[in-house]
Structure 1
């Protein structure tokens, strides 16, 4: 072996369910860029996890990666030094461009032209979830594309991650005021960087815990609300999301498994919302609901520490 070691790769087998859970997680607190790959087409058990590390992984990193893929059992991880490579670029080398309606999403390694009359967004793998390659994010793009003929004035993307869905909303409704929020300040920094890379200007960016923020409330009501997070937070946040929605607003929800659909829908129906559309993608489901005809008012003040015992993971 010649050359200087610049990064390391750890590889473990996994299942599709484990891969999707990894892709959907926002912050796994592992010092690595994670990439999951289908090794055998349509085989739910034959997937692979690759973790790209800037430094040689220690026992703690290995243990954390093992915890993500219990199906690997006692399989020894493959730990490889990588020579003179950009470890982030390598981690996204397998992320082929995607197309959803008017949108295309690509990494630096795989540029792609915009669809006719649409937009191509450059979203590289990094600290925040939402590159467009996970079924939930891609499904949200398709759901937004399906709303293109409607008119919206106030849009909010709760748990924006990379900013991709906020960028798509601003493209579809250029005169709308678009707000992007996240509980993680690092995600807002990533969104700022991605906005600059894609020539997106004018977004309102807010670090906030869910929808409970004076800055968010002061701009309500919103006639389009997007929340691509996880089922638990969606259920617990239903009253606060409904409370900032305009009467008849469109609400796009994702990050939930099909098995969790009924619970999420029930939580929003309890706040006066009505299910209008469902897009199922494998085990994942994207929902579109319509807010009630009258502005929803919670029956009691909402305590962010008491959201049914759920810890937010936007």
Structure 2
């Protein structure tokens, strides 16, 4: 493989479930790589894997940082692989069988499927943005939205939209609603626009924004359904600004948090007047359904951007 074809690098070490959970729960590990943990053998707490994706070939210092995260692999040499763009495409599609949640089914180009009776199939290929529906947080949000089908919403926002999947599901359930989809990453907004065209989704308001502070977002407030499938750190940091754009008694769906982080996220939103309506635990991950207070929340302190790094989830 010539150096010109290398797009990025993958460094792999074995780990335990406890180490994987600690990595997933950390807000900022100060490692110049995207970390992903995977269960290799179901229900075997010793057979997990840490993959670190970096733009540059891993240095000795980076490898030492990774080893510090997984002490159980102290005697194991890391597997270091150069990746090409073609490798990414192959990895993104490999094994992504269609998933079904309620009236929704999500599939890739490699695994086309017909929609269920009265339901909707979405074509979402893995690629530059997160949210193909295969991660427990995204599928859990789909199930949560499906359970709200009999509710009525006029103004909806999907914060951290990734591929746009959750906004598309909302558009199917509430076709008359005004729907805003935002992401901090311009590439994700581009992907959402492309996916919307592929799936014949009615026009959405797409906004590149950090949290809920963008003028285009606040100008459309208040929203009666808010969706944020991000990570625990950003959710806690953003709680006041998210609740500030919520209508009284609005429905708020939160995901991207581990069960071990649930109480911290719930407390942050409770401090802004929200109450926990129900939750859906899927493995180590928990999806929350909260209700905003009876009067519109007004933040008492300026927004705190701390903890927002690393919005995206794996697939």
Task: Name the TM tier (shorter chain).
Answer: 0.7 to 0.9
- Measured on the aligned residues, the alpha-carbon RMSD in Å equals 3.4
Matches of 1:24 and 1:201, distance apart in 2: 38
Rounded to whole Å, the distance in 2 between the matches of 1:112 and 1:65 is 44
Summarize the Cα distance change of 1:240–1:95 in structure 2 as closer, same or farther, 3 Å threshold: same
Other-structure match for 2:200: 199
Aligned pair in 2 of structure 1 residues 196, 126: CA closer, same or farther (>3 Å)?
same
C-alpha distance 200-83 of structure 1, shift in aligned 2 (>3 A) = closer
Q: Aligned to 1:127, what secondary structure does the other structure show?
A: coil
Match runs of 1:38-187 below 5 Å: 38-48=39-49, 58-60=57-59, 63=62, 67=66, 70=70, 71-79=72-80, 87-187=88-188
The number of residues matched between the two structures is 302
In 2, Cα distance between equivalents of 1:285 and 1:259: 9
Evaluate the alpha carbon distance shift between residue 245 and residue 255 of structure 1 in structure 2; reply closer, same or farther with a 3 A threshold. same
Note the C-alpha offset of 1:183.
Answer: 1.1
Runs of 5+ unmatched residues, structure 1 = none
Bigger drift between 167-176 and 7-16 goes to 7-16
DSSP 3-state at the match of 1:279:
strand
Question: Is there any run of 5+ residues in structure 2 with no aligned partner, and where?
Answer: none
CA displacement 1:243-273 (0-9 Å, x = unmatched):
1111111000111111211121111112111
Matched, 1:258 2:255: no
Contact 1:104 1:120 in 2 (8 A): yes
2:219 counterpart SS class: helix
Q: Aligned equivalents of 2:65 and 2:92: distance in 1?
A: 19
CA contact (8 A) 1:24 1:255 kept: no
Measure the CA separation in 2 of the matches of 1:202 and 1:285. Answer: 30
The residue aligned with 2:232 is 231
Residues in 1 aligned to 2:108 and 2:26: alpha-carbon distance in whole angstroms: 18
Shift of 1:234: 1.1
Cross-structure match for 2:310 = 313
CA gap of 1:37–1:262, structure 2 versus 1, over 3 A, is closer
8 Å contact kept, 1:24–1:134: no
The alpha-carbon deviation at position 92 of structure 1 amounts to 2.3
Cα separation, partners in 2 of 1:109 and 1:77, compared to 1, 3 Å = farther
* Structure-2 change in CA distance of 1:65 and 1:89 (3 Å): farther
Aligned partners of 1:190 and 1:212: how far apart in 2? 22
- With normalisation by structure 2, the TM-score equals 0.82
* C-alpha distance after superposition, 1:82-105 (max 9, x if no partner): 999664134421222211111111
TM-score (normalizing by structure 1): 0.83
Distance in 2 (alpha carbons) for counterparts of 1:293 and 1:181: 26
Moved more, 282-291 or 71-80: 71-80
- Which residue of the partner structure matches residue 290 of structure 2? 289
| 1:37-85 deviation line (CA, Å, top 9, x unaligned) | 54322223323456789x9x73349947972963543422345689996
Deviates more, 1:113-122 or 1:206-215: 113-122
**1:201 Cα offset (Å):** 3.0
